[in-house]
Structure 1
Amino acid sequence: MDILILILIFFVLILVGVPIGTSLGVAAVVTLFQFDLGVGMVGINFSSAIASFPLLAVPFFILAGVLLDKAGLAASIARFFELILGKAVGGLAMVSVFTCMFWGALSGSGPATTAAVGLILLVPMIKQGYDKNFAGAVIANAADLSIIIPPSIAFIIYGNITSVSVSALFVAGIVPGIIIGVGTALVAYLISKKRGYQGLNQRGNVKEILKASKDAFWAFVSPVIILGGIYTGAFTPTEAAVVSVFYSLFVAVFIYRSLTWRGFMDALTDAAVTSSVIMFIVAFAGLFSWTASVTGFIDQTAEFIIRISPNSVVMIILVNLLLLILGMFIDAISISYLVMP
């Protein structure tokens, strides 16, 4: 009964529009109070979920991405790919995909990538004749590559939950991220070709491409420095996040000279708000996960899946179906805390 109450409260709150973090917290606390399942542990589990050194990387990577956005690097990356791919059929769609890939490698955040790239390319795509739903879907889908391409915030949280090396996760995500990104661009091209979405009227000349390359150079170098440092063992992912902030400040202040004091304060505010939302979800998701554990939900779910079929392939398929269903209602961070244990 306690398990049923936990799940029922959570999904009812989700369906009526209560934010994910609040739904997780309310469901956990109500269940603990209702069945007297260690209410005194609420505060401890709430704080311990976010009292983790690896999680310090989250706000720093977010701040680094915001600083580079304030410096105008998202527009520089988009301009570079626009000059190379813009004239092709479905050019702007492919530009959106590759811009999202590289911006994801700077910010590590899907929502941040969606906001930065969408602000630059969504309106031009619609003006070029793309269906607005298709344009939005391309950007939103490509922005999700930030979950796989390092420095992925999702990888940081996954590593924190499972005690897996975040550095190893970052390295493991590079090749799959590139393959999925290229595949996404190919699908965008094929759909654009079928629907007759034409490219831009003018292809960039060598001089324009070289200038765009120079403008976007510092954005392309950032992932090399960060991932190279992690791969060689020069610094940990958390230290890499701090390095990325200083790098972003250096580029914004001394290279582009576009970051004002007001812009810097706005960047701090934006990063703080985004980080707070993530940590809010992490804290309550950790509490929900602990509640699910003490109620026996996790063990019973695992036993149920194994009982259906001991075959590992079948289990993987079932888990993916579960993730697909949960993904319709819950964000990736919350799903990680629900499923990973």
Structure 2
Amino acid sequence: MTGILLFGSFAVLLILGVPICISLGLSSVVGLLASGFDLGMLPDTIYASVCKYALLAVPFFVLAGAIMEYAGISEKLIHFADTCVGHRKSGLITVVVITSCFFAAISGSGAAAVAALGGILIPAMVDAKYDRGMSSVLVSASGAIGIIIPPSIGYVVYASIVNVSVSDLFLAGIIPGILLGVSYIVVAVWLSRNNHEIIRHEPASGKERWDAFKDAFWGLLMPVIILGGIYGGIFTPTEAAAVAVIYGLIVGIFIYKKITMKNILTVLRSAAISSATVMYVVACASVFAWILTTSHVATDLSDAMMSISNNKIILLLLVNVVFLIAGCFLDGSSAYYIFLPVILPILQALDVDLVQAGVFITVNIAIGLITPPIGINLYVGAGIAGVTVSSLVKKVIPFVLGGIIVLLLLTFVPQLSVGILHLAG
């Protein structure tokens, strides 16, 4: 009964258009009352969930991404990638994906990457005679790589729930992020194969490439410092997030000189709103997850899924289906807190590496960001391109299929994600 009231009230609130975080909070209150718990447990549960050292990295990474965005790093990354491959037939497609991967390693957020890069890349692709809808979908899909390529806020939240190493998740996410990017390049090139009007850029000279590299160097160095410091044992992922903020301020104020005292408050306000949104979702979703666990709803759902089949392949496919559908309606943090209490016992029973699981579950969420009806990235990209989301449905299907192929590889070939951990010792 508790499970029906919990999920039922949550679904009703979503249908009524109530924001996800508020829907989670209100349905959690319904669940507490239905389970006979004292409402006084609500603040204690919230406090326990958000006061985790690992989650301290979230506001720091959000602030670092905001600083680098206002510092103008997106334009510099795009220009550098364009000088390298922009003259090729599929050059601008490759520029979109490469730039998204680099910006993902700075911002750690899918929607932020689309918002920062879409305003430049979508008009550039349209001017080069690429289809406007395909251009919008490509930028939206590439921006989703932001939650897979480290540093990723999603990995931080997942690690805080499952109690695995954030550093391991960061390292394991590198190859999957690259694979997803390659799949999107292949799909976009295939969709554009019959477009003979595409305009290629003139090849850049060696000097132009060198100048573009020097201009983008400080932005490119940021993920190197973050990941190099973590895996060099210099600092923890949480400390790396703080270092990223300091480095971003130095670059934005003294090198690129785009951040001034006039706009520093704008940067801080933007980061504060984004961080507060994430942490509010974490707080409300953690109560939802706590009720699922303590009322044994999660155990009952896990047993029901396990009763469907004992076949590992079928159960892993079922896990992917659950998160693939969840990604269409929920943000990553909400999906983790709601469904991991149900899925975690299944993964443990199947002896699946939880780091590998964190990667392919996050890839599910990334695919969900471009999957209707509530693909956040798709809405952002459509708004920038000036088209309707409904007009993009057919165009997004090949990208979703390309992402699912990568997802299946990561699910059933663990070496593609955790193999790098063994190589790194």
TM-score, normalisation: structure 2? 0.77
- Overall identity of the aligned pairs, in %: 40
Hey, what's the Cα distance between the residues in 2 that align with 1:52 and 1:39?
A: 22
Aligned pairs (5 A) from 1:173-322:
173-196=173-196, 198-322=198-322
Structure 2 match to 1:50? 50
1:154 maps to 2:151 = no
Deviations, residues 151-184 of structure 1 (Å, cap 9, x unaligned): 0000000000011010111111112222222222
Alpha carbons 1:94, 1:188 under 8 Å: kept: no
Question: Aligned partners of 2:68 and 2:197: how far apart in 1?
Answer: 31
- The corresponding residue for 1:96 is 96
Aligned partner of 1:215: which letter?
Answer: D
8 Å Cα contact 1:152-1:170 kept in structure 2: yes
| Residue in 2 that maps onto 1:67 | 67
Q: Deviations over 1:112-156 (max 9, x none)?
A: 111111122122222333333211211111111111110000000
Residues in 1 aligned to 2:44 and 2:156: alpha-carbon distance in whole angstroms:
22
Q: Is the 8 A contact 1:326 1:335 kept in 2?
A: yes
Partner of 2:112: 112
Contact 1:89–1:193 under 8 Å retained in 2: no
- CA offsets, 1:25-78, max 9 Å, x none? 111102222442342211111222211111111111111111111111110000
Amino acid across the alignment from 1:105: A
* Alignment-derived partner of residue 19 in structure 2: 19
Structure 2 residue matching 1:49: 3-state secondary structure: helix
Deviation track 1:63-112 (CA, whole Å, cap 9, x = no partner) reads: 11111111111100001111222222243222111111000001111121
Opposite residue 151 of structure 1, the aligned amino acid is P
Offset, 1:202: 2.0
Q: Gaps (5+ residues) in structure 1?
A: none
Compared CA separation, residues 196 and 25, structure 1 to 2 (3 A):
farther
What residue in structure 2 maps to residue 40 of structure 1? Answer: 40
Aligned CA distance change for structure 1 residues 273 and 197 (closer, same or farther; 3 Å): farther
On the 8 A contact 2:2/2:297 being kept in 1, the answer is no
Query: CA, structure 1 residues 295+125, in 2 after alignment: closer, same or farther (shift >3 Å)?
Result: same
Count of aligned residue pairs for this structure pair: 341
Structure 2: distance between partners of 1:26 and 1:97? 39
CA distance in 2, matches of 1:91, 1:100: 14
SS for the counterpart of 1:204 is coil
Q: Which has the higher mean CA deviation after the structures are superposed, 234-243 or 322-331?
A: 322-331
| Conserved 8 A contact 1:88-1:198 | no
RMSD: 1.5
- Bigger shift: residues 118-127 or 164-173: 118-127
CA contact (8 A) 2:129 2:199 kept: no
Distance 1:5 1:189 in 2: 47
> Which residue type is aligned with residue 66 of structure 1?
A
Query: What is the rounded CA distance, in whole Å, between the counterparts of 1:197 and 1:298 in structure 2?
Result: 55
State the Cα distance separating 1:22 from its structure 2 match: 0.8
Closer/same/farther in 2, CA of residues 197 and 59 from structure 1, 3 Å limit: farther
Write the letter of the residue equivalent to 1:178.
I
Distance in 2 between residues matched to 1:207 and 1:159, nearest whole Å = 44
CA distance in 2, matches of 1:322, 1:198: 39
Higher relative contact order (CA 8 A, sep 6+): 1
Residue equivalent to 2:333: 333
Whether the 8 Å contact between 1:100 and 1:117 is mirrored in structure 2 is yes
Distance 1:196 1:338, change over 3 A: farther
| Distance apart, 1:310 and its partner CA | 1.6
Between stretches 202-211 and 240-249, larger displacement belongs to 202-211
CA distance in 2, matches of 1:188, 1:204: 23
Alpha-carbon shift at residue 197 of structure 1 (Å):
6.0
Give the Cα separation in 2 of the matches to 1:283 and 1:147.
20
SS at match of 1:328: helix
CA deviation after TM superposition for structure 1 residue 193, in Å = 2.2
Letter paired with 1:221: L
- Which residue of structure 1 lines up, in the alignment, with residue 135 of structure 2? 135
Q: Say if 2:35 and 2:295, in contact at 8 Å, map to a contact too.
A: no
Q: Which whole-Å CA distance do the structure 2 matches of 1:24 and 1:90 have between them?
A: 44
State the secondary structure of the residue aligned to 1:83. helix
| SS of the residue 1:203 aligns to | coil
Report if aligned partners of 1:91, 1:199 keep a CA contact under 8 Å in 2: no
Measured after TM superposition, the shift of residue 273 of structure 1 is 0.6
CA distance in 2, matches of 1:71, 1:279: 25
Match of 2:384?
Answer: none
State the AA in 1 paired with 2:184.
T
Q: Which runs of 5+ in 2 are unaligned?
A: 342-425
Cα distance in structure 2, aligned partners of 1:127 and 1:276: 38
